[in-house]
Amino acid sequence: MQNAKNYRVQIHSRVPEGRTWVVLDTKTRDSRFIPPQSLTNFKAVVEVMISAECPDAGSDVSPSAHRFYIDTAALCPAADDIRVGRVARSLLAEWTPVTPASHYEVSLYSALSGALLSHHVSHTSSISLQEVAEPLLVMAVRPYCPAGFGETVYKLLDADLPGQP
């Protein structure tokens, strides 16, 4: 905008579950603005409001509002076909590799309470985890690619896993 002294940039980024990811309210003299942090690590609804401060205008210039959706899942697909077996006192999990993934986050939750029991990072498409004394478990696998995180895939594990006890 001509004669603008400053621009006020307000950004509100919220993940689909409703949690706020980023809130920014700043001023810049440049007509371009790059946020100092990522607006999401997977999916988000982002609302941006831009106001120009023009001392010569004599009145406030109405702000420009924009809303857009970010989805990095297309650039980092889900890790499909999680297979889990028992080997000695460990759980061996394998899944279909995601081509651009540099690593995977693997978490175990209690299916009864929802409590996080363990969280690991694997740089391959498999992991061996120490067995947990829970009748029902939920395993979550989330790939990480250069573009961001992919979608988390969940697998329900019961006490009757194949393999050696």
- At residue 164, the pLDDT reads 46
C-alpha distances in Å from residue 143, one per residue of 38, 103, 123: 18, 6, 10
List CB contacts of 105: < 8 A, sequence separation 6 or more.
Answer: 119, 120, 121, 140, 141, 142, 144, 149
Q: Give 10-33 pLDDT, tens digit per residue.
A: 999 988 777 888 899 999 888 888
* Residue 71: pLDDT over 90: no
The predicted pLDDT at position 39 comes to 82
Q: Is the pLDDT of residue 83 over 80?
A: yes
